Structure 1
Amino acid sequence: MSKTFTKAIFTCLLLCITAVVVHAQTVTISGAVTDKATKEPIPGVGITVKGTTIATATNMSGKYAFVVKQTGPFIIVISYVGYTSIEKEITGNIANLDFEIETAVVLGQEVVISASRTPERILESPVSVERMGPAVLKELSAPSFYDALNNMKGVEISTQSLTFKSVNTRGFNSNGNNRFNQYVDGMDNQAPGLNFAVGNIIGVSDLDLDNVELLPGASSALYGAGGINGTMLMTSKSPFDYPGASFSYKSGINHLNDNNTGNQQYNQLDVRLAKSWNNKFAIKGTFSFLQAKDWQADNYSNFDRVSRTFKPGDRASDPNYDGINVYGDEINANILTVSRQLQAGFQSQSPAGFAGMTALINAFPNYNLDQYVATITAPGSPFGGLAPAIPYLGIVKGVKNNTISNQDVSRTGYNEVNLVDYNTKSLKTSGSLHYRFTPTIEGIAQLNWGTGTSVYTGSDRYSLRNFSIGQYKLELKGQDFFVRGYTTQERSGDSYISSILGSFINEAYRPSQGPATNPTSGWYAQYALAYSTALLKGGSDAQAHAAARSVADQGRLMPGTPQFDAVKENIMNNTISSGKGAKFNDKTNLYHYEGMYNFSNALDNVVELQVGGSYRIYQLRSGGTIFDDLNDKIDINEYGAFAQIAKKMFADKFKLAVSGRYDKSSNFDGRFTPRVSGVYTVAPDNNIRVSFQTGYRNPTTQNQYIDLSVAGGVQRLIGGIPSMLNKYNLLTTNVPYTDVSYRAFLGSVAAGAPNPALLQKYNFDPRGVRPESVQAYEVGYKGLLGSRFLVDAYAYYNSYKDFITAVEVYQQNKDNTFSKFGAPVNATGKVTSYGGALGLDYLIGGYNLSGNVSYNKLGDLPADYINDFNTPEVRYNLGLGNKEIIKNFGFNVNYRWQDKFYWNSSFAAGNVPSFSTIDAQVNLKIPSVKSMLKLGGSNILNKYYFTSYGNPAVGALYYIGFTFNP
């Protein structure tokens, strides 16, 4: 550990001791806030001590109470979006300090916490931050707040299924995004075995969500490893601030004009119950259940997984067809190689028969099959002994005359719809107990648990069935500190890999390779014999391949039959590690402990100072179905600490903040990530911000320890740390070859002149895969022009070092076959990206007109980096809404467009066309019963689109919803 870091820790500890002995006079303030016109209480109103970070908010009854640790006089500010702010001087303790606030057109007054881990106005944030507050959440046009994240500036979502979506900012999007952190009430929302958030499976329900804050860009200096491209914080409603009962029911339809399914029903129920007693004890419980038919992936394009390019043809025209959303057809073999093996076996088992057949062919070189058979079976024929060997005639003659094509042939696969469970379900529940030891110190015990059935795209398409994650937290927090510990428990349930399922169904009715006692019973042997026989009958090559597949596929298990279902069920219920199943057995856990103290109040806000630390344990427990943990338990330990100091200067016009964090993981060296930011107030409510941030992420648990066969057994994914590379002798004993040179070698084989000299070795770094880091530079402006026009703009430049990418290599086996491996590696040079965004909000009358545009561009690339920027250069959003166009009636419309781009992932690669979509809703508020009726839809024009290649196309979802006590 560096001397500088040691000194910083010592200083922080000294300040902690100082803070304990400092006694500051406290002032207690309480009261209520109501709407001046309606006299109704307003929840969520911000009350802030001017010039400090001390803040609170009104509860569901419009009441507030908080303690200020400083002497009067000072000024408090009462602010709420859409209302005129009020300032009030406080000289001492005061109760029943009530305020009536008037409706006004005010923007940019929201208070955010995520940017600096301390409350501040969003206008004064030192970095870019996006926010959805309670007022916005009630008026969303999208079916859920998670879908509505797309409307935020610079945010994009990859949709793998109806309930599984990955959020991203600033490029390098992926199906499972491990460069973006997601927190729920302070808990890292990732599935620890996957290392990324599984959409909103265990997130907050819409009914219980208080606010969402999203930080585009690096945030490791405050939040630790991960979040190299962004961090999102979701905060649920406190039972103290939002007591009572609420429920929401939403019903709708999707799959309109979908030839795969026809119209399907969508239903969702949310319930929330909260109760508090004497502002000391409170309890909350939530329940959410969604049921629908999922979007179906039906991309049957012919994909070459070796060269990762498309090729013409379909199953009828290409013997080696490999459909993107077809599984089991990843397995292939060269028909010429199989024919030669069959001939060699025949010659070995029957030397006399082989000699006789060769003599027959030499004697009658131009005969077809019927003529040969007639000659063999003629009475007294000298070739009569060859009758049992007639099936080998085509093979022997074809190999001898070089008429068998040097063609790879794939097995007949099964469409995804026949293998994956599209009966989407999502059940989320949460509960919490709250106790206030003092008005500012609160203890919380909380659980979040979710389960469901969905589909996720990784290196394969994974059917997540009865997948569940539980999070359990204990926390003690105050106005200036928090200490929390939580665990995340991931359970794979009945989840399985679709390509392994498809391949094993094929193997169940006819193995690809027959046993040594009966080699001709294998699928490829049957294919080769039938193919060569068809050629000998005089058929064309295409006709021969069609005839051969028909013969080899005899007895094939057909979807919808009891035989198919029985075999499928058996494979789904056996684990991958058993060697006869496709099922995961993941029981990976995460344990996390952290704390933070804010010394700002103890230092009378002369400076803002925060320190914190964390400790984390990953327990990988997949039973050998994901990780290399069949015989050994794998634990990964991580710990870190951070400090941040900020100071206003130059008559409070400029605020400088400096922060840094040190982190260490079991398998990697420790690292320090600093951040420096400055905010300059050029005019009231107009600020320019500049920041330099660093971020990093450790290789994921899978990057380190995965050991998984995918693509129907064609490829094995392995971790990139030295122990995993050594397990397969890839570092020294049997160094593999590059994929480019392997393809060149295959070309020489296809030309009939194999040239092993074309094979070039790939040398892994002996250190293995290492953490990835980024240096991020940003400049931005956020300001109010008048009270009705808000402008937010930023530009950024990112430079990545040791960028984690992937490599595919081919290792030669003793029998001269090749095994394909995929492993994570670090790109040797720098990867750069840059871009910017502009957001505008304009209030005119009661209408809110908004729009934003984002630009993201990939810069420099190392030669060994596979481009997976996976982000459109340009995307924009337009919005128009009015909370009350007439009495109690409001609406909201959002239009989104994004440019075309090329998607590259370990599953598939291809062009994602540009698309546009419209979400809209109209709502009727019914104050007499505290309810809202909403009619809306996403993608209301029903223009099907997809966000990432190989994933399903998304159509319209229309719904009607009723919410009580929103």
Structure 2
Amino acid sequence: MSRIFTQIFYVLFFMCAINIAAQAQNITVSGTVKDRQSKEGLAGVSVTIKGQTGGTASSGDGSFSFTTTAKVPFTLVASYVGYGTVERQVTANTSGINIEMETAVVLGGDVVVSASRTPERILESPVSIERMSAASIREIAAPSFYDALNNMKGVESSMQSLTFKSINTRGFNSNGNTRFNQYIDGMDNQAPGLNFSVGNIVGITELDIDNVELLPGASSALYGAGGINGTLLMTSKDPFKYQGASFQYKTGVNHVNDDNSSVQPFNQLDVRLAKSWNNKFGVKAAFSFLQAKDWFGNNYSNFDRVSRTAKAGDRNSDTNYDGINVYGDEVSQNMRNVALSVQNQTIAGIIAAGGPNIKNALDATFGAAIPNAAQQAGFLASLPAELRPAVQNYFPFYVGLKANLIPDQNVSRTGYNEVNLVDYDTKSLKASGAVYYNITNTIQAVAQANWGTGTSVYTGSDRYSLRNFNIGQYKLELKGQDFSLKGYTTQERSGDSYISSILGSYINEVSKPSTTWFPQYIGNYVGARAAGQNDVAAHAFARGVANQGRFEPGSPQFETAKQTIMNTTISATSINAANPAQSVYGAKFDDKTNLYHYEGMYNFTNALNNAVEFQVGASYRLYDLNSAGTIFNDLNESIDINEYGAFAQIGKKMFNDKVKFTFAGRYDKSMNFEGRFTPRITGVFTVAKNNNIRASYQTGYRNPTTQNQYIDLSVGGGSQRLIGGLPEIMFGKYNLDGNKAYTDVSYRAFLASAAATGTPNPALLQQYTFDAKGVRPESVQSYELGYKGLILPNLLIDAYGYYNTYKDFITAVDVYQNVGTLANPTFVKFGVPVNAEGEVTSYGAALGLDYLVDNYSFSGNVSYNQIGDLPVNYINDFNTPKVRFNLGFGNKEIIKNFGFNISYRWQDKFYWNSSFASGEVPAYSSLDAQVSLKIPSVKSSVKLGGSNVMNKYYITSYGNPAAGAIYYLAFSFNP
């Protein structure tokens, strides 16, 4: 079935569905909801008919009204955080219903869906799960609900910029986390060209978020590939339950006491509109716009790309300085190798012009002696005039090599700081709309569109400036009490995004090509040394001369080159070695990758009279890669990736409902890999009322990402090419089986031999043999034992321990392929995804406590994560602190209409390892706080708060910016 036909099918299906409305008579249900003690109306109370779609939320004075086709008798359910749920039987009169609610300690009463893909009390969940409700989101101290995810038990994040955070659980944290899934209203929120979610840049708006559920650990048995470390599910508000207009304006400042910047403004506007008619037809729209100055990447530590660690030195003390947040200095050459290359090229050029082998002629003339300036001038005078310029340029290299004045060390070009290259004017615009139609009391059709654009920065193998990046998600869904059908597409557009290191390197190339810069440097270094200067002074002199003509940041030449390169695509790059002035350089992506996903699920539980719980489902997914050769190997060919899968789950309560066992299994197949079966077995044991022990065995896997499969991209300032791990790329395009590449270690030994003796030793080169099938999926087996229960009516405890075993971990190797000859080698560096040999294990535990007393809430959680034994040569990228904890304290109404909330978190130091940079992340703590005032007369509230209010700058991952405080004031209407 073609993609176009499939889309037309879903549109026609949806149009038919909304025209088969049941011909039942509408009735109106209305009344008021009040606080039993104060007799005041309660706003925002959810009022629904039990077991059916539709309903509403009470208005500012507590009144509610909605229409339904349900026939009496039925049961109304009124629920509101901080109050006990009230059920009211309606038998005849459906108007003037008076519901009174009492404040109540309600812990563990939340209903979750994601743990089993069916509603259940959170206390009875068979696996660990965290939840954040709409009411708790309104009370958070963090600037956004996404920032507050860090307060959940076991959750960590990698903050790459102000609006780009990658969420993770249970170890192996990373920038752009491909081991963690994120869903919005059932839609996979990943950018299909990246295979990870771009934080919440183009996600859900704060006024439209209803709840957040987070599953730590593997979840492939229910959700398919990916999510082997966790799954986050965000659900937006239903227009039948949350109606009316809402508005929020938040203003504040950041960069307080920041050495990089003066204090900068932070502004955000959120608007939501929702309306329903006759409990049949509902619409909603939401909008959010954020604008601020991003955090600055200013880690100027010296980075050693061999050991992948920071090392001593800076630009003044290390000739091969490579700053972590400095770009363009990745381009580096060995001084002796450059001198040898210039010598050989000059000799060949003079011979081609009819002259002698100039080195042999000089050796015959001077023997072992080093010719001085007068002797050099005399030798030049003996040559034909047309040969003299070339020989004069050759003298520094001849003298330097003969006198051993040229050291065996690398020299890097002078780079540019990140602040001069990256767009820090961060923006995030999100818009969404949805149309709901209740075909019957239990069947609903939905058409939904989410779109967002933003400017931010994210970290992968490089620092990528996302400018005007945008994603659209469009869904059609039909769902009922026992089934759901949906189809959606994700459309990713890279906008004006570009690679910072490529930009820095190419600005250098435009100002002066490296083929000129390095010989100038070495020639002037030799001249300075021959004149009696010491090594340090000679290097400083040589760099000063070579940098003449360098475009300084802020200069017209720099800005012109920057704008040209950042607006020219990578695939348009064309370097003219013969005439560098005619070269074309580009750092821009041109990605228009799309994802198409279709799935259906049916729950047979009711059909089986609840004898067992039984569900089945199936899905089909298509990745349509379109980067015009700027990311993938798709410049001259189209690339599609097809995936399909199916799952089944059966559960049964037994022993007087004291025990519930659930068995689930899923089979998935990607066109490029063998099929995978992922089982899950869970058990919940009720040891006392509201006290349950859970045990689970879960499996998970993830396919190599679209980039792991098909990437073909120059990075590191052009010093390396990242290629996909499929045989058609490695072997078909780059011939890494016919012309085998050499290991990184042996290549460096080969270079060292050339620098030391002038003649490289090819015997030192060791070939790397890739798996004939290429890169393959990685998998995990996870064992968990946990307990959740109410020790007291107002004290909830949640604890768990887990043990994971990973196989075929996807990592990467650097190899060097000789595309020349052994006598005259030319090496190309490749970064290739491969699977680590052996198993990787990890384990951990967590404990959470929630305590409510006299309207005060106390919470705390601590988590422990540790990596076990590692295979030989495996690069440890666990990237997770052993210990982290969170504390919370608040009261939503300490006095009438006045409340507060405080959150404190701390995490231990740990070592961060990534393809971009590696180093220690120091321990840090952060305090978020807010005070709020409700103004019921105008259905509004005012919140004054701050994140990291002590303004202690910290990093969550090495090589990324440090975050300081954000202080804000928010005004909300009808939140």
Q: Is TM-score (shorter-chain normalized) higher than 0.5? A: yes
Inter-CA distance 66–907: structure 2 relative to 1 (3 Å threshold): farther
Answering whether residue 892 of structure 2 is matched by residue 883 of structure 1, we say yes
1:930-965 residue CA offsets vs partner (Å, 9 max, x unmatched): 111001111111111111111011111111110100
Stretch deviating more after TM superposition (390-399 or 190-199): 390-399
1:255-299 residue CA offsets vs partner (Å, 9 max, x unmatched): 111111111111100111111111111111111101011001011
- Amino acid across the alignment from 1:575: T
> How far did residue 383 of structure 1 move?
9.2
- Amino acid across the alignment from 1:887: K
> How far did residue 755 of structure 1 move?
3.9
Kept in 2: contact 1:360–1:383 (CA 8 A) = no
Kept in 2: contact 1:29–1:93 (CA 8 A) = no
- Amino acid across the alignment from 2:484: F
Q: TM-score, normalised by structure 2?
A: 0.90
User: How many angstroms apart in 1 are the aligned matches of 2:860 and 2:680?
Assistant: 30
Out of 701, 710, 716, the position equivalent to 1:711 is: 716
Equivalent residue number for residue 99 of structure 1: 99
Answering whether residue 610 of structure 2 is matched by residue 605 of structure 1, we say yes
Equivalent residue number for residue 16 of structure 2: none
- Amino acid across the alignment from 1:533: G
- Amino acid across the alignment from 1:526: Q
User: How many angstroms apart in 1 are the aligned matches of 2:693 and 2:647?
Assistant: 26
Out of 769, 784, 799, the position equivalent to 1:763 is: 769
Kept in 2: contact 1:692–1:777 (CA 8 A) = yes
3-state SS of the aligned residue for 2:140? coil
Inter-CA distance 383–818: structure 2 relative to 1 (3 Å threshold): closer
Equivalent residue number for residue 728 of structure 2: 723
Equivalent residue number for residue 403 of structure 1: 405
Inter-CA distance 267–717: structure 2 relative to 1 (3 Å threshold): same
Out of 530, 543, 547, the position equivalent to 1:549 is: 543
User: How many angstroms apart in 2 are the aligned matches of 1:600 and 1:32?
Assistant: 35
Kept in 2: contact 1:395–1:533 (CA 8 A) = no
- Amino acid across the alignment from 1:571: I
User: How many angstroms apart in 1 are the aligned matches of 2:170 and 2:29?
Assistant: 43
Out of 909, 915, 920, the position equivalent to 2:924 is: 915
User: How many angstroms apart in 2 are the aligned matches of 1:66 and 1:865?
Assistant: 62
Inter-CA distance 360–537: structure 2 relative to 1 (3 Å threshold): farther
Out of 471, 490, 495, the position equivalent to 2:492 is: 490
Q: TM-score, normalised by structure 1?
A: 0.91
Give matches, 1:848-859, under 5 Å. Answer: 848-859=857-868
Equivalent residue number for residue 469 of structure 2: 467
Kept in 1: contact 2:47–2:76 (CA 8 A) = no
> How far did residue 345 of structure 1 move?
3.5
Q: Alignment length, in residue pairs?
A: 922
Out of 612, 633, 637, the position equivalent to 1:632 is: 637
> How far did residue 736 of structure 1 move?
1.6
Kept in 2: contact 1:28–1:94 (CA 8 A) = no
Equivalent residue number for residue 518 of structure 1: none
Equivalent residue number for residue 20 of structure 1: none
Inter-CA distance 603–402: structure 2 relative to 1 (3 Å threshold): same
Give matches, 1:347-386, under 5 Å. Answer: 347-348=347-348, 349=350, 350-351=355-356, 357-358=362-363, 361-362=366-367, 365=370, 367=372, 369=373
Give matches, 1:271-420, under 5 Å. Answer: 271-348=271-348, 349=350, 350-351=355-356, 357-358=362-363, 361-362=366-367, 365=370, 367=372, 369=373, 388=389, 389-420=391-422
> How far did residue 834 of structure 1 move?
0.6
User: How many angstroms apart in 1 are the aligned matches of 2:397 and 2:595?
Assistant: 58
User: How many angstroms apart in 2 are the aligned matches of 1:881 and 1:565?
Assistant: 50
- Amino acid across the alignment from 2:434: S
User: How many angstroms apart in 2 are the aligned matches of 1:620 and 1:101?
Assistant: 54
User: How many angstroms apart in 2 are the aligned matches of 1:38 and 1:808?
Assistant: 71
> How far did residue 646 of structure 1 move?
1.3
- Amino acid across the alignment from 1:59: A
Equivalent residue number for residue 127 of structure 1: 127
3-state SS of the aligned residue for 1:547? helix
User: How many angstroms apart in 2 are the aligned matches of 1:762 and 1:810?
Assistant: 9
Give matches, 1:211-230, under 5 Å. Answer: 211-230=211-230
Give matches, 1:429-508, under 5 Å. Answer: 429-508=431-510
Inter-CA distance 756–353: structure 2 relative to 1 (3 Å threshold): closer
- Amino acid across the alignment from 1:157: S
- Amino acid across the alignment from 1:714: S
User: How many angstroms apart in 2 are the aligned matches of 1:730 and 1:874?
Assistant: 46
- Amino acid across the alignment from 2:417: N
- Amino acid across the alignment from 2:408: N
User: How many angstroms apart in 2 are the aligned matches of 1:231 and 1:32?
Assistant: 39
User: How many angstroms apart in 1 are the aligned matches of 2:202 and 2:384?
Assistant: 73
> How far did residue 402 of structure 1 move?
2.0
User: How many angstroms apart in 2 are the aligned matches of 1:427 and 1:736?
Assistant: 46
1:627-665 residue CA offsets vs partner (Å, 9 max, x unmatched): 000011100111111111111111111111111111111
3-state SS of the aligned residue for 1:103? coil
> How far did residue 47 of structure 1 move?
7.0
Answering whether residue 38 of structure 2 is matched by residue 40 of structure 1, we say no
Give matches, 1:683-698, under 5 Å. Answer: 683-698=688-703
> How far did residue 340 of structure 1 move?
2.0
> How far did residue 606 of structure 1 move?
2.1
Inter-CA distance 757–277: structure 2 relative to 1 (3 Å threshold): same
3-state SS of the aligned residue for 1:145? coil
Equivalent residue number for residue 3 of structure 2: none
1:51-98 residue CA offsets vs partner (Å, 9 max, x unmatched): xx88987534475989999999x999865442234567x697884665
> How far did residue 32 of structure 1 move?
6.5
Kept in 2: contact 1:431–1:446 (CA 8 A) = yes
> How far did residue 355 of structure 1 move?
6.1
> How far did residue 407 of structure 1 move?
1.6
Equivalent residue number for residue 559 of structure 1: 553
3-state SS of the aligned residue for 1:669? coil
Kept in 1: contact 2:370–2:403 (CA 8 A) = no
3-state SS of the aligned residue for 1:709? strand
Kept in 2: contact 1:730–1:736 (CA 8 A) = no
1:329-352 residue CA offsets vs partner (Å, 9 max, x unmatched): 111111112212222333341538
Identity %: 66
Answering whether residue 793 of structure 2 is matched by residue 784 of structure 1, we say no
Inter-CA distance 667–365: structure 2 relative to 1 (3 Å threshold): closer
3-state SS of the aligned residue for 2:408? coil
**Structure 1 unaligned spans of 5+:** 1-26, 514-521
- Amino acid across the alignment from 1:459: S
> How far did residue 361 of structure 1 move?
4.9
> How far did residue 28 of structure 1 move?
13
Equivalent residue number for residue 242 of structure 2: 242
Equivalent residue number for residue 9 of structure 1: none
**Structure 2 unaligned spans of 5+:** 1-26, 574-584
3-state SS of the aligned residue for 2:608? coil
1:335-383 residue CA offsets vs partner (Å, 9 max, x unmatched): 112212222333341538656655675596484x4x5578779xxx879
- Amino acid across the alignment from 1:414: Y
User: How many angstroms apart in 1 are the aligned matches of 2:369 and 2:102?
Assistant: 104
User: How many angstroms apart in 2 are the aligned matches of 1:168 and 1:659?
Assistant: 24
Stretch deviating more after TM superposition (894-903 or 726-735): 726-735
3-state SS of the aligned residue for 2:297? coil
3-state SS of the aligned residue for 1:443? strand
Kept in 2: contact 1:33–1:58 (CA 8 A) = no
> How far did residue 740 of structure 1 move?
2.8
> How far did residue 745 of structure 1 move?
3.5
Kept in 2: contact 1:448–1:472 (CA 8 A) = yes
Equivalent residue number for residue 24 of structure 2: none
Inter-CA distance 294–860: structure 2 relative to 1 (3 Å threshold): same
